[in-house]
Amino acid sequence: MTTIIQEKTQEIININPATGEEISKVPILDKEQVEELVLRAKKYFPIWSKLTLKERARYLKKLQKQIVKDMDELVDTICKETGKTEMDGIVEIFTVSEHLNYVVKKGPKYLKDEPRSTGIFVHKKAYVSYHPKGVVGVISPWNYPFILTAGPVVQALMAGNTVVVKPSEVTPNTTLKLREIATRAGIPEDAFLVATGDGRTGAALVESLNTDMICFTGSTATGRKIAEVCGRMLKPVILELGGKDPMIIFEDANLKRAAKAALWGGISNSGQTCIAVERIIIHESVYNKFIELIKQELEQIKQGYYKDDVSVGSMAFEKQFQIVMDHIKDAKEKGAQIIAGGERNEAFMNGLFIKPTIITNVKDDMKVWKDETFGPVLAIKTFKTEEEAIEIANKTPYGLNGSVWSKNKKRAQRVARQIKSGTICINDVLINYIISDLPFGGVKESGMGRVYSKEGLRAFTDMQSVLVDRFNIPFELWWFPYSKKIKQLFKTFTKILFG
C-alpha cells in the first residue's frame, strides 16, 4: 500500500514502499491555495528578475554548496519515499550538483545579450536579449523526485523567473526538503514556492492566468492534457514525457560492456527511469553469448533495503508495481520466455519488490514491447540486418533516448542518425542525461522542448531581437519618397550581391 489520497481531510498519506511504514502527511492544495502561491511568486518576480545574472548565480552557488552539505539528509528523504537504493539516491544529488555547477558557471554567459550579424547592413548593430518569462509552474514526477524538480527550478531561477512547484503526490517530501535546504542557503521564500497535492493541484497551476510558462515532466497521457490547456491559453510549455528506449547491439560490439550497460541501464532505479533501456535489439549471431553474459552479471546483483549493500530497491508505489506485474503476466500469457525474475521478490513481502527480469521470445503485441514498462524488466529481440534493426527501433510512438553498440564508429553514427529520438548514446547508456552541455528532451510522443544546456536555459526566457541604428544619419535609402533612381539602384544591388 502506498500514497493514500484522503478526500475527507484533503491530505496525502505517504508510505515507504520498501517497508510499508507511514512516513508523512501533506496537504492537497486546492485552486484558491495554488493561486495564492502563484500571486506571491508574481509579486516577487520584479525583485528576483532585477538581480543581475551574476547575483542570481551567487544565490544558486550557495544552494549547490548547501545541497552537498546536506546530502545525507536528502538521500534519506529520497530513499524513504521511493524505496530506492542509497546509490540511486546519491546519483540524484550528484546529477543535480553537476547541473547546478553548469548553470552557475555558464548561465551568466548564455543569458546575457548576444550580438548577431547584420549581414550587408553594416551601419546597423543587432543582438538578442533573453528576458525571464515571469512565474514558471514546474510539475514533477516521482521517479527521480530530486533531479526532476531541482533541475527545472534552478534553470528557471537562473533565467530570472520565480517558480511554483507541484511535486508528485507520491514523493512530496523530497521537494519540501529541497525548499528547506534552499532556505538554509538564503534563497528567498517567494522566489520558489511549493504547492503539494495531486493532479487537481497541478491542473490549477496550469490553468492559472498568472503562470507564464509550464515545465512538465511526467507521463505522455498527462502531458497531452497539459498541452491542450496550454494550447488554448497560448502558454509556453516544455513537455518531458515517457519513453521506450531501444538498445541496438551489433555483432562487433564489446558484448561484456554491453551486457553490464544493459543491466544498469534497464534495472537501476528499479527500471523507473524515463531513459531506461527497455528494448534490447541484438544481432542474432551474438544473441546466445549475450544472454550468457547478462545472466552471469545478474548473479552479482542483490536486491533489498536502501541502507543495505544492494544494487536494486523496491518499486516506488503500488500503481507502478501493478503495471509492471501486468506487463510480465501479459508476456507470459502470449508465449514469452522468462529467463530471469518475472515475479515479486517474496523475501520482502512488506515492500513492493520485483525481481530483475529478463524476457526473450518477445512479440510486437506484448505490452512489454509496445508500452512503457517503467520497471526492472529487459525485453530482448533479435535482428538480421542494419535496416531491420533501425526499423524495429523506430517502431514506437516514443522518441526519447536510445543507444547503438558497435566497434565500427561510422556504422554506429550512421545508425544513430536514423533513430528518431531527442537524444542517443553510442556504446553507452543513460549518462548523456548528466552532460549539462547537451540539451535533453524527446521527439514524437516523448515530448517537446529542451532542458539543460544553452538551449534549455534559454527555453525559460523570452527571446527579444534588437536592432540598433549606429550612425544616426538623416535618412535611409529605402524610405519615402521612392524614385526611379532608387529603384534602379536596388535592382543593381540585388544583382551584384545575390545574383
266 binds ligand NAD (CB under 6 A): no
Half-sphere exposure of residue 129: CA atoms within 13 angstroms, side-chain side: 7
**Residue 278 interacts with ligand NAD (CB under 6 A)?**
no
Q: At 124, list the grid cell.
A: 546597423
Q: What is the CA radius of gyration of the chain?
A: 25
386 classed as catalytic: no
DSSP for residue 149: H
310 C-beta neighbours (distance < 10 Å), count: 15
Place of cell 548547501: 66
Packed helices 53-69 and 147-158: angle between N→C axes, nearest 10 degrees: 160
CB 92 within 8 A of CB 434: no
Q: How many CA atoms lie within 13 A of 271 on its CB side?
A: 29
* Binder among 103, 154, 187, 203 for ligand NAD (CB under 6 A): 203
Beta carbon of residue 291, minimum distance to ligand NAD (angstroms, whole number): 27
Minimum CB distance to ligand NAD, residue 432 (Å):
12
Binding to ligand NAD in span 471-490, by CB under 6 A: none
Phi, psi at 30, each rounded to 5°: -90, 180
Annotate each residue in 392-421 with x if it binds ligand NAD (CB under 6 A) or - if it does not, as one string.
--------x---------------------
Using CB under 6 A, pick the residue from 29, 138, 187, 226 that binds ligand NAD: 226
Q: Which is nearer to ligand NAD, 211 or 360 (CB)?
A: 211
Report CA dihedral (414, 419, 423, 424) to the nearest 10 degrees: -50
Query: Which residue's entry shows cell 553537476?
Result: 98
Mark whether 36 is an active-site residue.
Answer: no
274 binds ligand NAD (CB under 6 A): yes
Binding positions for ligand NAD, 117-146, rule CB under 6 A: 139-143
Q: Which of 240, 278, 372, 445 is catalytic?
A: 240
Strand 245-249 vs strand 403-405: parallel, antiparallel, or unpaired? Answer: parallel
Nearer to ligand NAD, 70 or 198 (CB): 198
Kindly list the strands in the beta sheet with 114-116, ordered across the sheet, starting from the edge strand earlier in the chain. 114-116, 124-132, 461-469
CB nearer to ligand NAD: pick between 35 and 372: 372
Query: Is residue 64 within 8 Å of 56, Cβ to Cβ?
Result: no
Q: What residues between 90 and 109 interact with ligand NAD by CB under 6 A?
A: none
The nearest distance, CB 89 to ligand NAD, in angstroms, is: 16
Catalytic residue among 79, 215, 230, 274: 274
Minimum Å gap between C-beta 338 and ligand NAD is 24
Q: Which positions are catalytic? A: 240, 274
| Sites of contact with ligand NAD (CB under 6 A) | 139-143, 148, 166, 168-169, 198-199, 202-203, 206, 217-219, 222, 225-226, 240-243, 274, 372, 374, 400, 442, 447
